[in-house]
Amino acid sequence: MFSAFLNSIKIKELRGRILFTAGIIILDRLAANIPCPGVDPSALKQYFSQFGQGSAEGMFMGMFDIFSGGALQQFAIATLGIMPYISASIIMQLLTPVLPSLEKLAREGDVGRQKINQYTRYLTVVICIIQGAMAALAMINPGRLGLPHPQNPLVTNPGSFFVIMTVIVLTCATMILVWFGEQITERGIGNGISLIITVNIIARMPAAMYGLYEIAVSHGTISGTRFRLVHLLILFIIFILVTAATIVLTQGQRRIPIQMAKRIVGNKMKGGTTYMPLKVNFSGVMPIIFAGAILVLPGILLRWIPFAREYAVYFQYGSTSYMIIYGIMILAFSYFWVANQFNPIQIADNLKKEGAYIPGIRPGQPTADFLDNTMTRVTLAGSIFLAALAVFPMFLYKGFKIPYNITSFFGGTSLLIMVGVLLDTLSQMESHLTMRNYDGFLKHGKVRSRRQ
């Protein structure tokens, strides 16, 4: 593996792509550390320090701070990060099968995809304006989001001018990050948008490791037991096992044999037996994102209703009721995403047109029914695995009182994104190496891209 990294530096084109990607990542981290104008950094730091590790507010803010790479705690220009673009992309993906005009564009090839991408950027700007205004108003008065009031004002000159200026700054920063991601995809290595999210998540790892180090040095307690070296070793083993399970979930697939008619194309014969991979985790991290985003709202809304505040505890992040509702919603959204994105009828028609068929299954509707039933069973196993992986960090926090900034790397969205993106990036690097007759990262087998 180490020789593969050395060979990556030897190839001029690959070296240039890696250095270009590294440069963009440095700019992204700079944007996450430049505070927005008009915010008092010392008052903001003092305000975030008052959130306890066990408070619902602290976990609520920490959950969003992970994806911004620490920008939220400084209210940096990259506070919104790349997430508005991700939200816009998800909305467009959900609307494409529903709206005939978007579905028609999707079938027009590159020209149609470019138009859809342009619509996605427009929608990103709209989402940035809404989220930027909410963030600015929250800085002026955090109590509007149900958060505690700061001891000192967070904004030096609150008012309409601050809100307008903040919206413009945050929107421009997000669009620049989107452009950075597109440049990485085109001129760098890996998927740029996903890589920026991954870098922001990884940027929080040193703080998590330092927090664990502080517990060990100060002889702190976890779940009432004095923290010792053996506990650190156990956590490390658990992290390895959870990471391995995440890789299995990300790479797992059910292969459906496909028999294609043999035909000669040029000097080569094509056809024969091939496979259709049905991914175990077809929906990726989308169910976790959907469920987490929706469950944020009930807790906030119930706090605003005087006679319903007592029910807000059921939606407190990390509580037993929250974990049960969270897991059920992940199962439901997994099937929702598959039903929206996986079209067995269209796949069956395409196979029939190409003269291909599944051995033992008649073409047409029987093939569609077979694919639908198979995908339903595969999704059940994948969604249960995904729900367990998403709930596991909360279980560690609630059962063993491990701080949230540490448990967030033991599963859930963070680990799934990191594993998936890093595997995808390694797959692209391996392709460059094998094309030039270099050994890949594995002597036997290969890194399988999650896009296959």
Question: What is the span of the domain harbouring residue 298?
Answer: 225-410
In a domain, 250, yes or no: yes
pLDDT range class, residue 125, cuts 50, 70, 90: very high
Let me know if residue 432 belongs to a domain. no
pTM of the prediction?
0.80
Distance between CA 24 and CA 181 in Å, rounded?
Answer: 8
Half-sphere exposure of 346 (CA within 13 A, CB side): 7
Residues 6+ apart with CB under 8 A from 413: 285, 288, 289, 292, 390
Give pLDDT, residue 314: 84
Give the gyration radius of the chain's Cα atoms. 24
Same domain, 36 and 184: yes
Q: How many CB atoms lie within 10 A of CB 5?
A: 12
Question: Residue 199: enclosing H or E segment and its boundaries?
Answer: helix 192-202
User: Is residue 384 located within the same domain as residue 264?
Assistant: yes
Phi, psi of 362 (to 5 degrees): -70, 145
| Partners of 260 in the β-ladder | 272, 356
pLDDT band at 439 (very low <50, low <70, confident <90, very high): low
Domain identity same for 6 and 138:
yes
Task: Say how many domains are in the chain.
Answer: 2
pLDDT (tens digit per residue) in 149-189: 777 888 888 889 999 999 999 999 999 999 999 999 899 98
Residue 225 has pLDDT above 80, yes or no: no
Looking at the structure, do residues 196 and 240 belong to the same domain, yes or no? no
CA atoms within 13 A on the CB side of 422: 14
Q: Which DSSP helix (H) or strand (E) runs through 176?
A: helix 160-187
| 160 and 246 housed in the same domain | no
* Rounded-to-integer distance, Cα 419 and Cα 77, Å: 27
The CB density around residue 342, as the number of other CB atoms within 10 Å, is: 18
Helix runs in 218-357, H state only: 229-251, 286-304, 320-341, 344-353
Of the candidates 150, 138, 131, the one whose C-alpha atom is nearest the C-alpha of residue 67 is 131
Q: What is the pLDDT of residue 330?
A: 92
Please check whether residues 173 and 102 belong to one and the same domain: yes
The per-residue pLDDT for range 367-389, each reduced to its tens digit, is 999 999 999 999 999 999 999 98
* pLDDT at residue 230 in the model: 78
* Mean predicted confidence (pLDDT) in 62-76: 78
Note the pLDDT of residue 26. Answer: 93
pLDDT, tens only, 113-124 = 889 999 999 999
Averaged pLDDT score across all residues of the chain: 82
Instruction: Identify whether residues 150 and 245 lie together within a single domain.
Output: no
CA distance 419 to 425: 10
Please indicate, yes or no, whether residues 132 and 240 belong to a single structural domain of this protein: no
Count Cβ neighbours within 10 Å for each residue of 205-242 and write b for 16 or more, e otherwise: eeebeebbeebeeeeeebeeeebeeebeeebeeeeeeb
CB atoms within 10 A of CB 441: 18
> What does the pLDDT read at residue 54?
47
User: What is the DSSP-derived secondary structure letter of residue 99?
Assistant: -
Query: Do 126 and 267 reside in the same domain of the chain?
Result: no
Q: What is the pLDDT of residues 274-323, one digit of tens each?
A: 889 999 988 888 888 788 778 877 877 777 777 777 887 888 777 888 88
Query: Which pLDDT belongs to residue 59?
Result: 60
Q: Are residues 196 and 232 in the same domain?
A: no
User: Tell me, what CATH number does 8's domain have?
Assistant: 1.10.3370.10
434 belongs to a structural domain: no
Boundary-marking domain end, from 171, 203, 235: 203
Residue 291 sits in the same domain as residue 152: no
Let me know whether 162 and 258 are in one domain. Answer: no
Residue 10 lies in a domain: yes
260 domain residue, yes or no: yes
Does residue 45 fall inside a structural domain? Answer: yes
Q: 178 lies in a domain?
A: yes
**Which pLDDT belongs to residue 450?**
42
Whether the per-residue pLDDT at 131 is higher than 60: the answer is: yes
190 found inside a domain:
yes
Q: List, for residues 226-262, the tens digit of each pLDDT value.
A: 777 777 788 889 889 999 989 888 888 999 999 887 6
- Output the furthest CA–CA distance in the chain (Å, rounded): 77
Q: Given a cut of 50, is residue 45 above it in pLDDT?
A: yes
Among residues of the chain, what percentage have pLDDT more than 90?
A: 25
